[in-house]
Amino acid sequence: MRSWLSTRRGKPDLPPLMLARFEEMGFDLSQFVPALLRPPSQTFRINTLKAEREQVLKSLSYLEPEPVGWNDLVFRIKGRLKLGNLLEHFLGLIYAQDSSSTIPVTVLDPQPDEEILDMAAAPGSKATQIAAAMRNTGLLVANDVSPGRIPSLTGNLDRSGVLNTVVTRLPGQAYGHIAAERFDRVLIDAPCSSEGTLSRSFKALEIWSKSAIKRLSTTQRKLIMSAYYSLKPGGVMVYSTCTFAPEENEGTVSYLLEKFPQARVESINLEGLKTQPGFSEWRGEAFNPAVKNIIRLFPHQHDGEGFCVARISKPS
């Protein structure tokens, strides 16, 4: 076991290189690290494929759910009750989902009767949210390369009453070729170094390293290019990660803009959400100025996992 994986009072010592990078990103470690390791409030999304909003709010009123603001189907509760253990979750009336994880699909804004690709979909938190926004119409392709993660994806689609979705198990890189200019919208919730999830689980520490960031950013560049190819002219895609690493966020989006200068990184405004703009540079390398429209969520400012979200459109 790596030495920094030993825990003190249940909290890990973060790798020195990770802490040095956070400092380089401009974080005050005395605020940032405790917030990063503190579990955020529990949140749930109402699944409108199976339940009425008011009916769910009535049956869960004992939890005193508070709306998050930017999405009227997402609620925060007080206390540490595990929402994933509730009957309402097993019945698919709600989906226990971190508040930050609900943002990429809110930003994607799926519509009924569209054709949409969720390129890295397992275990399906966002695919089920997309299908609900589409009201089970049109076509959702929920893809994931990992055979071991497909059962959780199909299980969550079933539990949520999703009927408009086909599941595929391909490298996302393939879609640009096999389905060029096919989709109205694409979500790439990319495989990433998951630094923003440390408040819920220390699993990310098992794979985290400088070389992992490099390897992941190479895959992300291929996925974002494939997604852009698979988008119809006039289509919209969202690129998201749950990590802070600039190489995996602004670096990936800048790479797309280098290859396709006509792609537009749109601004994102969500009511009541405290966000920061994308970084303008990292280690002396300037990013494309358009990446300032990326939103970043930090755990010392937002009660949820660390996240990064970009909305990108393809001209007609």
CA 52 to chain centre: 25
Residue 123: asked if its preceding bond is cis (omega within 30°), the reply is yes
To ligand SAM, the closest distance from the beta carbon of 45 in angstroms equals: 11
CB-nearer residue toward ligand SAM: 115 or 118: 118
Q: Judged by CB under 6 A, which stretch of 133-141, 143-151, 280-288, 304-312 contacts ligand SAM?
A: 143-151
Under the binding rule (CB under 6 A), the answer on residue 88 touching ligand SAM is: no
- Total site size for ligand SAM, rule CB under 6 A: 20
Rounded Cα–Cα distance for residues 239 and 257 (Å): 13
Instruction: Lay out the site mask for ligand SAM across 146-165 (x = CB under 6 A, - = otherwise).
Output: x--x----------------
Instruction: Catalogue the active-site residues.
Output: 242
To ligand SAM, the closest distance from the beta carbon of 286 in angstroms equals: 28
Under the binding rule (CB under 6 A), the answer on residue 263 touching ligand SAM is: no
Under the binding rule (CB under 6 A), the answer on residue 124 touching ligand SAM is: yes
Q: Judged by CB under 6 A, which stretch of 17-25, 144-152, 262-270, 284-292 contacts ligand SAM?
A: 144-152
Residues 118 and 189: beta-carbon distance below 8 Å: yes
Under the binding rule (CB under 6 A), the answer on residue 134 touching ligand SAM is: no
CB-nearer residue toward ligand SAM: 290 or 311: 311
CB-nearer residue toward ligand SAM: 290 or 304: 304
Under the binding rule (CB under 6 A), the answer on residue 145 touching ligand SAM is: yes
CB-nearer residue toward ligand SAM: 45 or 50: 45
Among 165, 219, 243, 254, binds ligand SAM (CB under 6 A): 219
Among 172, 176, 251, 304, binds ligand SAM (CB under 6 A): 172
Residues 97 and 44: beta-carbon distance below 8 Å: yes
Cα–Cα nearest to 108, from 315, 316, 314, 313:
313
Among 98, 115, 144, 250, binds ligand SAM (CB under 6 A): 144
CA 81 to chain centre: 23
Rounded Cα–Cα distance for residues 145 and 172 (Å): 7
To ligand SAM, the closest distance from the beta carbon of 166 in angstroms equals: 15
Q: Please give the residue ranges that form the binding site for ligand SAM (CB under 6 A).
A: 101, 119-126, 143-146, 149, 171-173, 189, 191, 219
